Amino acid sequence: MSSADVTIRAPLGGAAGRDVPSGAVWMWRDSWTEALRHLRAMPRSPEILVFSTIQPIMFVLLFVYVFGESVVVPGGDYTQYVMAGIFAQTVVFGTAWTSVGIAEDMSKGIIDRLRSLPMFQPAVLIGRSISDLVRNVFTFAVMVAVAFAVGWSIEGSIAEAVLATFVLLAFGYALVWIQAFVGVSVSSVEAANSAGFIWMFPMTFISSAFVDPSRMPDWLEAVANANPFSIVTDVTRDLYDGVDPGSDLWVAFAWIVGITAVFAALAIRRFRRTTR
């Protein structure tokens, strides 16, 4: 072994003769270390969790008590109908912090410091996605409690409720990678904040989340029905209500896998080019 090899391996391997982690082991170790870095910072920034929960609670109060008696939906119970949409909207809006956080790290030079370490470079983005998923789980738990308080109920089995929750959180995780791509593509935190939100509003509102798409104009109904947000919302609504979602469940999973695969690849590729 050359002296150059010894110089490179020493910081990583520690004691002589210990193998340097590589492949999947290296990736998951560094990704989890990055995730812990963000999770440990959460208690020092409680306002992020507070504002992450206040907004969806406001949507619950607005739609249930202001529009609840005016909107006609299948089944007639607007509270039962709209909560699935608000759950889905909550996990989608919760991903906005990803683009802002990544852009902030890049603007402060933290990414450059991480790149100087002997670590798996995409772990910076993977770790961020994991920590944001954990935050989304916390926000979702709060929203479930609020939903029960306004009269929503789980009418399906426990297994169906667990599956519905998994679909929602998996969809949120997929959209985290869209936000990661936004975060590494813009030049400032302000731009990340604007670009991170601008596409979420049409996605969530031109959908079946808050109104029945059949009451929309024909061209808008077609857009709403093709919207992956509508498909995920309908699947979770059916599962929580104890209704068989049919093939829509597999379509939802196809969207989740497709979005994750495409935008994770784009975000990591852009990250490597931007920070090179």
Which residues of the chain carry a pLDDT beneath 70?
Answer: 1-25, 43, 45-49, 52, 112, 114-120, 275-276
Is 230 inside any structural domain?
Answer: yes
Give me the amino acid identity at 258.
Answer: G
**pLDDT score of 164:** 96
Q: CB 33: neighbour CB atoms within 10 A?
A: 13
Is 130 inside any structural domain?
Answer: yes
Q: Which two three-digit tokens encode residue 12?
A: 């990583």
Is 61 inside any structural domain?
Answer: yes
DSSP 247: T
Is 4 inside any structural domain?
Answer: no
**pLDDT score of 125:** 85
Residue 49 is part of which domain span?
23-274
User: What is the distance between the alpha carbons of residues 33 and 121, in angstroms, rounded to a whole number?
Assistant: 12
User: What is the distance between the alpha carbons of residues 64 and 78, in angstroms, rounded to a whole number?
Assistant: 7
> In this structure, are residues 114 and 124 in contact, taking their beta carbons and an 8 Å threshold?
yes
Is 13 inside any structural domain?
Answer: no
Is 9 inside any structural domain?
Answer: no
**pLDDT score of 14:** 38
**pLDDT score of 54:** 80
> In this structure, are residues 212 and 72 in contact, taking their beta carbons and an 8 Å threshold?
yes
> What is the tally of structural domains in the chain?
1
For tokens 């910072």, name the residue: 41
**pLDDT score of 112:** 67
**pLDDT score of 88:** 93
User: What is the distance between the alpha carbons of residues 141 and 147, in angstroms, rounded to a whole number?
Assistant: 10
Is 179 inside any structural domain?
Answer: yes
**pLDDT score of 9:** 36
Name the pTM for this structure.
0.82
Q: CB 243: neighbour CB atoms within 10 A?
A: 15
C-alpha separations of 202 from 72, 89, 127, 180 in Å? 21, 11, 28, 19
User: What is the distance between the alpha carbons of residues 10 and 39, in angstroms, rounded to a whole number?
Assistant: 29
Convert the pLDDT of each residue in 196-209 to its tens digit: 788 888 999 999 99
Is 18 inside any structural domain?
Answer: no
Averaged pLDDT score across all residues of the chain: 82
Would you say how long the chain is, in residues? 276
**pLDDT score of 1:** 41
User: What is the distance between the alpha carbons of residues 204 and 66, in angstroms, rounded to a whole number?
Assistant: 19
For tokens 């208690």, name the residue: 43
Q: Which two three-digit tokens encode residue 219?
A: 């061209």
